[in-house]
Structure 1
Amino acid sequence: MVDVIPKEIKHAWGRWNISGSIILSLILQAILLCFSPLRKRTPQRHLIILIWSSYLLADWSANFAVGLISKNQGKDLKPDDPPQDKKLMALWAPFLLLHLGGPDTITAFALEDNALWLRHVFGLVFQAIAGAYVVLQSLPNSLWVIILLVFISGTIKYLERTTALYSASLDKFRDSMIQAPDPGPNYAKLMEEYKAKKEARLPTKIILTDEPDKEHRPKKLEHPSLASETKRKELTHLEIVQYAYKFFNTFKGLVVNLIFSFRERDESLEIFENLADSEEALRIIEVELGFLYDALFTKIAVLHTVFGTVSRVVASGTLVAAFILFYKKSNKGRDFHGADVVVTYILFAVGLVLDFISILLFLFSDWTCAALSSLKDDPDEPLSWKDRFFNWLLEFRKLSWKSQECYNKGTHKCSKEGEKPCIKEGDDKCSMVQKHHMLTTPFFLRRWCGSVNLKRIHDAGDEFRFLWIIIAFPFKILNFIIQKVFGWISELINTVHRWISHIVNALSRNHPWARRTIYPIYILFLFHIPDFIKYVWNVLSEFFGISDTFDMVHKTLFVHGEPMTKELWKFMFEELKNKSKYGDSPENAKRISLARGEWTLRENLPKDADREKLVRYVTKVDYDQSLLMWHIATELCYQQHEEETIPEDTDKKREHYSYREFSKIISDYMMYLLILQPSLMSEVAGIGKIRFRDTLAEADKFFQRRRIYNLGVKTTTLVKIATINILAVNSEIEPMDVKGDRSKSVLFDASRLAKDLTEMEKTHEKDKWEILSKVWVELLCYAACHCDATAHVEQLSRGGELINFVWLLMAHFGLTDQFQINKGDARAKLIIGK
């Protein structure tokens, strides 16, 4: 009988299966510890796939190794085995329990994993029983003290992970924020006193006293450094983290849709209104989102409790003690196999190194700086040595900005007649320089990806992009091989098909019987073989997701994020800050948060303008339809730049170009969210993808009819030609009145909107880019506050998005419907007298 598996392979597996499984488990733990913190800094899918696969394999490999060790304990020793080798393998079982505890940097890959905390409790029980069974089988064992110490360390690590999952499950997360029950004033006692006074014929009445509302409360800032002075004092790096920690403990209830009081809203609003600049708001929010990520996906929140700190000291101490005892044990080379001793040393060494790295991450985290310090009442009070150290440490993670000058290209006239033109000789760039400050914080010091996902405008490369290209290289090779193989097969089939066709045609011409038999068979069956093979390939490709995989790789390699600019963030911050002044009641705050363009149009358009002509493009259509229309209209206006009326005033000119760029960036970003981030737009997307496909099909049909595809010119020129052709179409009549509503295309509705914007600009001398940019901010805010909170949190584990920051910024400005700010806590008083 022939063995399917050669004896050499069987022997190697029997000798190294346990060691190999343990080393694999150790490698997976190292990958998770080192790479999982990076997922909140980048949306790169290759990194996510690496972490996801390691996360799933980590528990499997540890459980598999425990099973192998348990099976091995029941086997008889071979003649060449050392006398106590099984006893050494019994030490490896507690190490696997240590691995099942997982690293501190990741407990859950997704929020759903936190709901499985009960499964981990059962896992802890059964793994402890399995480990105890392995140890009992090895008794008497001279390593029992070392085994016990490692077992204690592993059990503590597993308990930490289970506790972290339990506390981060949404039900427990909500319960941890619910305050103690408040029965209110003693109604029965008050009514008894009221009745007694009435019976005594005393003039008695009950009045309710409310807490002072916003309009009547005294202006009292949370921190003196935020006082309204001519030049406000900038917050220190430590104060930024302290404020972020303070607001995290307040607004983490957003995740579970809790309702907040008016005090919390006013406190946050007052602080954010009095910050020195918008950058401080960005820094507070990014740290705050980091706290939220850590609380839901890592052990850090648990470790920063008394229980967590003590457990970590005990777990690390027992592991160090176990290593020292094993190192000092004599006769290891004689009692155990040399390779197994080396594996044990590797387990101890790598385990201690990973534990040391975890302790460093714990000590130098934002949590430690916030938990071990507090905001000072007097900002001029000198910092203690501890606060100075924390402030110095946090300085390394401050936001870094790179100034870049951008030129507005074009042939427009930006100089008056008789003056020196702004176009320098030999230069095609306008000397109207726009300075931008791009976010370029070093990769390992980032708290989020720091980019807006759309076509790159500024030249700022990712220093780690080469790493992702290397990781994705096998996918590119596989794609190349598949394309070449199927191309070769297709060419072979076509060659054979032409050869058979030539023979069949020749036989049919020379022999009537062939014309009646072979030729019909060929036409009915053989002729369609290439089409049949193509159909089968398409079905298999769709079923196994092959095309989606290649699309994913293509997006990962060639779709890059635009570095966020300080000017863009400041613009959005000021817009929301301005709106917060109108949200002084629950009704107004809700109205502003529900606005998706109409508030801006009615507030910013001139009084004599026909406001409803533009407002109907947001109020009379669905959100996804409005989004697509305004995106196409923005693109059409953007391509018409050379025909625009450019303001002569330098400041207005700079504002014009800034508004134009903001409109383009946010427009492209919203389309990215609608098409490529459906989870963030699920509540407002509607049939956005259907509208997008129908619009694309109508544009494709229009361009083919106008033969725009076949002009043989550059892409930029082609886009301008397409824009001119679209706008040249007479669109006086509503497209729906001509086409009906079967097709969901909005191509020419967007063309009408672009024309209306241009007409408004010419008639009322109001910069259409200012209107467009503010409408886009409102559309973004509408999507942010209507996105499910759990989707926002999930996105934090994939690098974060600008929409997550807008969501939290709106909460800080009180522009959500989760504040009950109209009344304070009423208290009844019994008044005796006239």
Structure 2
Amino acid sequence: MKTFKFHSIPSHMKALWDEWNIRGAILFSLLVQVILIFVAPIRKCARKKIVISLIWLAYLLADAAANFAVGLISNSQRNEANNSGQKLKQKPQENSDLLAFWAPFLLLHLGGPDTITAFALEDNQLWLRHLLGLVFQAGAVVYVFFQSLPNDKLMFPTVLMFFAGFIKYVERTRALYCASLDKFRDSMLKDPDPGPNYAKLMEEYEFKQKAELPTTINMTPEPDKETKASDTPPKEGPLNHLEVVKYAYHYYKTFRGLIVDLIFSFRERDESREFFNLRSAEDALRVIEVELNFIYGTLYTKLEVVYSWYGFLCRFLAFASVLATLGLFYFQRKGEEYDGVEIGITYTLLLGAIALDVIAMLTIIFSDRTFTLIKNPDRPSRWPFAFVFSLFLALKKPRWHHCYCKHRHQVLATPLAFRRWSGSISSHNLIRYCLKSKRQIIHEFPSLCQIVFEYIFGEQVFASLTEICKALEPIKEKLKILRWPFTKIFSLIIRIFSLFMEETVDELLYVSREPFTRDLWEFIFLELKKKSEFADTPETAKRISSARGDWALTDSNRDRTKILKYVSDVPYDESILLWHIATDLCYYDDEVHTDVNKMEADIFTRRQFSKILSDYMLYLLVFQPTMMSAVAGIAKIRFRDTCAEAKRFFKGRKLGPNQDKEACEQILLVNTDVGPEQVKGDRSKSVLFSASMLAKELKRMESEDGEEKWRVMSRVWVELVSYAASHCRANTHAAEVSKGGQLITFIWLLMAHFGLGEQFQINEGHARAKLIVGK
């Protein structure tokens, strides 16, 4: 019988590992810190999941690499002794005092960069685990230090470095603790308010009643102690860059309690509503962008810890310790027998620590929080600071660029380095998914190169080049045959992964990113502004935020009962699927029976709004169930049943990929005189042909009543998005801030600023009761 002989690892490989395991681990830990400090802020404005996944990997590797390196150093410092107490030969080759000097650097790395403390909101809840990690890792470093004694050549630099590393780790632990939802809620709560002394008042009232004195209780409202903030009228007209940040910080401090479901007073509602009623849609977007960035900084970075007197003091002491360590090492290393590689690694660690601190300081200086500290920027002595900061803020201003479509819509095209959120809307389409069609978008993302090229050579030159590229499309199609082997291999890999991660693969293949347009935001802003005009009482505000069908109450002379039932008489998740499919059916029906190019601008734009919001809401329903969990119900079952019926129908009609238009036309051709629920029963939750009935009703309404269907559908979609935004859990909105941001989160915050929702429940002041004794 043949036996297999396992060969051991070659001796030279073992020697290489013994020599470089600690060096490689500590250098890798430093490299990950450098990557994180630069790349971590990108996650709040990333458009692609792969970018966020890579940042998540770096976040996990940062702690793992540092912990691993500390373990290697600690293990290498175990000095075995013989009976006479003499130390045996140590491995690896580095000096024990130098290893003890390197260990505190890993404590510094475990403190992490300022730009990321938590990757997800749940990480903040694990602050106690990090506190325990601080105790154990600091203990390991102290153990390594004592193991190096009596070698005290680098004792003072090691102590200083340990002090700096300990401060950084404490900073991170405190940041996680302050950002945990329980602590965050406690910090928002004001002092307990028992109200007027009811028991004492009633005792006096009872005493006077027994004395048969004619006594009455006179109620007078107590003046609000906090009205001073609303005494200053808000600014009218456009906001400059510094004013945007200041107002955003003011409303952040006022409304950050939304994250933990706190309630607010009507004074705060009235002040906010008055301010946003005076704003343009773009200024409102700028304020909300910065406000969400403050939320991001509080929950996912060291912002709150650094911006305090003890934070500045700790940061100064930590930086001074690193600088002092560099000086001491430079003078003490002379005359010592250190290897050249060891010296290089040590200087790399020292200079890396200094560079990371300098970058962190620059990040603090040019953060939005610093800009809020500028008082009276119009004073001559502060002009230089105001000018520099305004110039920097101008780079972060939302930048719009014309898209090459019929009506030249403007899309958000802020460069990545200055973007505050992704500026994109995720889209998923049921019919496209069932047909396995290619992803499609209505507007194109303009690249930075395109914008620069147009700025230098003009739009006409770029348009000519675009036409030339389109003329070369047939050649590109012919060259695709060369990609056939790679396409087959990729397809095989996708099939394998889909067996284990079907939803992830579906999101990768069938979810597209649609640019955020200025017209869409203005449309949503005006619709919510119009709704806020009627939200005068808590009951009205709650009804409006929970409304489904308010669009049918305007123009009451029109009969809309036949389409109203598809909103108000069905569960919310079913309503989304019905209107999503109906939007697709009407969208492609227009391309078959209507000359889209001759549509008036308003109708054409509303048609695009409906399509974008329709695909966005389906994306949330399918791929973001946590955002829709409060309202979605059995959405997953309903979606799968509808997909199964659609696939069966398309297979029977022999429809394949990229035949979306033909598929919609075939669905509309099916006779629906008898409703599907009467024929199929209630076991299947598919809504495919119920949506076809809705689409036909919309077409009938347009032809008979003369009402444009896209005006109705666009308002329906704004209402459905608003309903989801107000019913989504607040901490889920906060969680999405670190993943590129969601349009629904902007709508949620805008609704709060307009006074729409259930969070305003406190009237002005208490009622002051006074006993009046009459004759």
My pick for the range that moved more, 40-49 or 616-625, is: 40-49
CA 1:124–1:749 in structure 2 vs 1: closer, same or farther (change >3 Å)? same
CA drift at 1:193: 4.9
CA shift, 1:691, in A, is: 2.1
Q: Distance in 2 between matches of 1:224 and 1:446?
A: 31
Aligned equivalent of 2:419: 446
What per-residue deviation string (whole Å, max 9, x for no partner) do you get for residues 714-764 of structure 1? 94xx43333333222221221111121222221111111111112222232
Q: Does 1:347 align with 2:357?
A: no
Corresponding residue number in structure 2 for 1:14: 18
> Which of residues 555, 562, 575 in structure 1 aligns to 2:527?
575
Alignment match, 2:289? 286
Q: Structure 1: give runs of 5+ residues left out of the alignment.
A: 227-231, 408-433, 466-478, 489-536
Aligned partner of 1:167 in structure 2 is 178
1:148 Cα shift? 1.1
Do the aligned partners of residues 763 and 643 (structure 1) sit closer, same or farther apart at CA in structure 2, a change above 3 Å counting? farther
* Mean CA deviation greater in 280-289 or 750-759: 750-759
In the TM superposition, residue 708 of structure 1 has moved relative to its aligned partner by 4.2
CA 1:341 to 1:3, structure 2 compared with 1: closer, same or farther past 3 Å?
A: farther
Structure 1 residue 122 corresponds to structure 2 residue 111: no
- Report SS of the residue matched to 1:335: coil
Q: Write the deviation string for residues 470-506 of structure 1: whole angstroms up to 9, x where unpaired.
A: xxxxxxxxx9789659989xxxxxxxxxxxxxxxxxx
- TM-score w.r.t. length of structure 1: 0.80
Distance of aligned partners of 1:707 and 1:404 in 2 relative to their CA distance in 1, 3 Å threshold? closer
Write out aligned runs for 1:559-570 (5 A): 559-570=511-522
Q: Superposition pairs for residues 427-576 of structure 1, below 5 Å? A: 434-454=407-427, 455-463=440-448, 484=489, 544-545=500-501, 550-551=505-506, 553-554=508-509, 559-576=511-528
- Between the aligned partners of 2:487 and 2:662, the Cα distance in structure 1 is 37
Q: 1:783 aligns with which of 681, 704, 724?
A: 724
1:30–1:658 Cα change, 3 Å: same
* Candidates 815, 824, 827, aligned match of 2:756: 815
* 1:398-797 paired onto structure 2 within 5 Å: 398-404=397-403, 406-407=405-406, 434-454=407-427, 455-463=440-448, 484=489, 544-545=500-501, 550-551=505-506, 553-554=508-509, 559-596=511-548, 598-603=549-554, 606-641=555-590, 653-709=600-656, 715=658, 718-797=659-738
CA contact (8 A) 2:421 2:740 kept: yes
Distance 2:512 2:587 in 1: 21
Q: Tell me if the contact between 2:41 and 2:115 (Cα under 8 Å) persists in the aligned partners.
A: yes
- Contact between 1:601 and 1:775, CA under 8 Å: does it hold in 2? no
The total of aligned residue pairs comes to 718
Amino acid at match of 2:708: D
CA distance in 2, matches of 1:658, 1:335: 75
Q: CA deviation at 1:47?
A: 1.9
Asked if the contact 1:85/1:337 (under 8 Å) is kept, the reply is: no
- In 1, Cα distance between equivalents of 2:616 and 2:90: 69
Matched residues in 1 for 2:754 and 2:504: separation?
Answer: 41
Paired residue secondary structure (1:435): coil
Q: Which of 356, 360, 363 lines up with 1:361 in the alignment?
A: 363
Q: Which runs of 5+ in 2 are unaligned?
A: 80-86, 428-439, 451-483
Q: Is the 8 A contact 2:444 2:515 kept in 1?
A: no
2:383 equivalent to 1:373: no
1:241-288 alpha-carbon deviations (Å, 9 max, x no partner): 11111111121111111111111111111111111x111110111111
What amino acid sits opposite 1:341 in the alignment? I
Letter in 2 for 1:321: A
Change (3 A) 1:390 1:541: closer
The answer to whether structure 1 residue 177 and structure 2 residue 188 are counterparts is yes
In our comparison, the structure showing a higher alpha carbon Rg is 1
Residues in 2 aligned to 1:708 and 1:345: alpha-carbon distance in whole angstroms: 66
The 8 Å contact of residues 203 and 832 in structure 1, kept in 2 or not, is answered as yes
3-state DSSP class of the match of 2:409?
Answer: strand
- Measured against aligned partners, the alpha-carbon deviations of 1:639-691 in whole angstroms (never above 9, x if no partner) come to 2225778999x9x9222222211111111111121122222222222222322
3-state secondary structure, aligned to 2:405: strand
Amino acid at match of 2:11: K
Instruction: Please provide the CA RMSD for this pair.
Output: 3.3
CA distance in 1, matches of 2:726, 2:586: 28
For residues 636 and 81 of structure 1, what CA distance do their matches in structure 2 show? 71
> Quick check: 1:396 aligned with 2:400?
no
**Contact 2:46-2:52 at 8 Å conserved across structures:** no
In structure 1, the partner of 2:480 is none
CA distance in 2, matches of 1:80, 1:744: 68
Q: How does 1:28-177 map to 2 (within 5 A)?
A: 28-75=32-79, 76=87, 78=89, 85-140=95-150, 141-177=152-188
Cα distance in 2 between the residues matched to 1:40 and 1:696 = 33
Identical counterparts, % of pairs: 50
Partner of 2:330: 327
The CA deviation at 1:330 is: 4.2
Which range moved further: 685-694 or 583-592? 685-694
CA–CA separation in structure 2 for the residues paired with 1:821 and 1:754: 44
The answer to whether the 8 A contact 2:119-2:300 is kept is: yes
Q: Deviations over 1:509-556 (max 9, x none)?
A: xxxxxxxxxxxxxxxxxxxxxxxxxxxx98x866754x666556546x
> Which residue identity lines up with residue 132 of structure 1 in the other structure?
V
- What displacement does 1:824 show? 4.5
Contact between 2:442 and 2:608, CA under 8 Å: does it hold in 1? Answer: no
Alignment partners' CA distance in 2, 1:764 and 1:382: 64
Q: TM-score of the superposition, structure 2-length normalised?
A: 0.86
Residue 517 of structure 1 corresponds to which residue in structure 2? none
Query: Equivalent residue of 1:830, what SS?
Result: strand
2: distance between equivalents of 1:668 and 1:486?
25
1:570-609 superposed Cα distances (whole Å, 9 cap, x missing partner) = 100010011011111111111111113x111222xx4333
In structure 2, the CA distance between the partners of 1:2 and 1:616, relative to structure 1 (3 Å rule), is closer
Relative to structure 1, the CA distance from residue 644 to residue 810 in structure 2 (aligned partners, 3 Å threshold; closer, same or farther) is: farther
* Residue 143 of structure 1: how far off its partner (Å): 1.1
Distance 1:764 1:81, change over 3 A: closer
Distance 2:695 2:41 in 1: 45
CA distance in 2, matches of 1:181, 1:32: 42
The verdict on how the C-alpha distance between 1:313 and 1:733 changes in structure 2, with shifts beyond 3 A counting, is same
Distance 1:833 1:394, change over 3 A: farther
Q: CA deviation at 1:460?
A: 2.3
Q: 1:80 to 1:640 in 2, by over 3 A?
A: closer
User: Please, which of 288, 302, 306 is the counterpart of residue 305 of structure 2?
Assistant: 302
Q: Residues 212-258 of structure 1, C-alpha deviation per residue, up to 9 Å, x if partnerless? A: 89xxx9999665453xxxxx421111111111111111211111111
Task: Give secondary structure in 1 for the equivalent of 2:636.
Answer: helix
In 2, Cα distance between equivalents of 1:330 and 1:318:
18
In the alignment, does 2:284 pair up with 1:311? no
Report Cα offsets for 1:384-431 as digits up to 9, x if no partner: 434444333312211111134532xxxxxxxxxxxxxxxxxxxxxxxx
Classify the secondary structure of the residue corresponding to 1:74: coil
Deviation at 1:32, TM superposition (A): 1.5
